[in-house]
Structure formats: structure tokens, C-alpha cells
Structure 1
Amino acid sequence: MEGMLRIDGREIRLKATAATPIRYRSEFGVDFFKDVYRFGVSGNTIAKSDSGKAVTDEELNAIELDCVYRLLWAFAKEADKDILPFMEWLESFDVLPFTDCAKAISPLINKLMQSKKQKTPTQISRGKGKKKKK
């Protein structure tokens, strides 16, 4: 799956593949899915704040911008193998708006987390799982 994000007038291509979690761990030494969980916690806190609800100090302290930026860079790296190393890439932007970044990477994360039920050989041979004609 691919996506796009515009930052500082630049279009950043994003891509998620089966290799993304492995490459992420190799690059950052952190489990991809643990950071996805941290991203979810941070995103929920931001959404709560944006809706006008009170946010506790504990919730604010749980926001991990570096996790979001690592995820963003990993998806950008999947789309363009020639992008700068992580810190140099971050330094090439004046700002990286958290909300815009989160919205751009969410569909990619969701796609990687999706599972599809596979048909068993028995279901295939019996014709189960086929759509019925009307």
C-alpha cells in the first residue's frame, strides 16, 4: 500500500510492505509493533485533546513524537530507498506536524495489521466461500 504526505512544500511518498517491520527493527533496534502500540496511545491522547476533553499530565507524558517520526521515516524509506538517514532526514524539515504525520501513516499501519481469512482446502473443494448467484 502507498500513501503521500506534503511537508514543507515537499511530497513525501510512503509505502508499506511485508518487509517494513523487519527493516524497522534492523534500522532502529525497536520492535515495529511495539512502536505501533505507542503510536496508538499517542494518537488517542491527541484526538482526546482535539475534541476538547481534558488530558492528564500522565497522558501528555505518554506522547512519543520520536516513535511517530520513526514510523514515518520507515514508510518513506520503503517508498524511496535513497532518502537520507533518519536524523538527517528529520533535520531537512522546518517542522513535522504530528497530526498530519499520524493521519498519513495510520492507513499504512492498518493495512499491515489486517489479516485475511484463508480458505482451507476443504472449503475450496466443497465450493464454500463462493458468492451465491441471485
Structure 2
Amino acid sequence: MEKTIIIDGKEVAFKSTGALPKRYKMQFQRDFFSDLMTMESIVGKKKPSVQDIREIDFEVFYDIAWCLAKAANQSIPDPLTWLDSFSEFPIIEILPELQDMLAMSISSKKK
């Protein structure tokens, strides 16, 4: 699945592939599925508490966004350099745009 969204006035392509969990692990030395499930249990609540919000590790979302962007464009630089190329990167607005891609990465087509 591929999607292009505008961030800080720039078109940014994102792509979800089967390599997403491996790319994430290779780059960040953390397990993609564990991180995603931990965040999903908090973000998925209809009314997260203040404590829930305090527990959100937004770094996970930035890291996932970078992996999705890297899959779409192999020429993007390391995560920090890439994020520095934006004067703003509103993860709260970007995350909903990427949710379908993340859902597909953990779902099965088998019925």
C-alpha cells in the first residue's frame, strides 16, 4: 500500500511492504510488533486518560513514519536528518493518515 501526504508543504510518499518489521528492527533495534501493539492499546481507546497520554512513546510513531517513507524512497537520509528537513512534522495529524497502512501490516487476508 502506498500513500502520499503533504508535510510542511512537501509531498512525502509512504509505502508499507512486508519488509517493514525487519527495516524497523534493523534501524531501531526494537521489535516493530511489540512497539505497535503497545501504542495501539493506548491510542485505540475512545477516551484515553491523561495517564495513557503520558505513556505514549511518540518516538515509536516517528520511527514508523520514517520506515514507511524509506520504503517509498530509498534515498531519504537517516531518521534524524530526514526529520530535520521539515520545519514541522505534526505527528498527531500524520498518524491518522498512516493508520490504514499500519493496520494492513498486522492483518491477514485469510478468512
TM > 0.5 fold call: yes
The answer as to 2:100 corresponding to 1:107 is yes
- What is the count of residue pairs matched by the alignment? 111
Q: In the alignment, what sits opposite 1:131?
A: none
The answer as to 2:63 corresponding to 1:70 is yes
- 1:52-131 alignment, distance < 5 Å: 55-56=49-50, 58-117=51-110
- 1:30-45 alignment, distance < 5 Å: 30-44=30-44
Greater Cα radius of gyration, structure 1 or 2: 1
- Where in structure 1 are there 5+ consecutive unaligned residues? 50-54, 119-134
Q: Percent identity?
A: 30
Higher relative contact order (CA 8 A, sep 6+): 2
Superposition RMSD on alpha carbons, in Å? Answer: 1.8
TM-score scaled by length of structure 2: 0.88
Give the letter for the 1:14 counterpart.
F
- In structure 2, how many angstroms separate the alpha carbons of the residues matched to 1:43 and 1:18? 24
Report how far residue 42 of structure 1 moved. 4.6
Give the letter for the 1:28 counterpart.
F
Q: In the alignment, what sits opposite 1:121?
A: none
Secondary structure in 2 matching 1:4? strand
Q: In the alignment, what sits opposite 1:28?
A: 28
- Where in structure 2 are there 5+ consecutive unaligned residues? none
- In structure 1, how many angstroms separate the alpha carbons of the residues matched to 2:41 and 2:11? 27
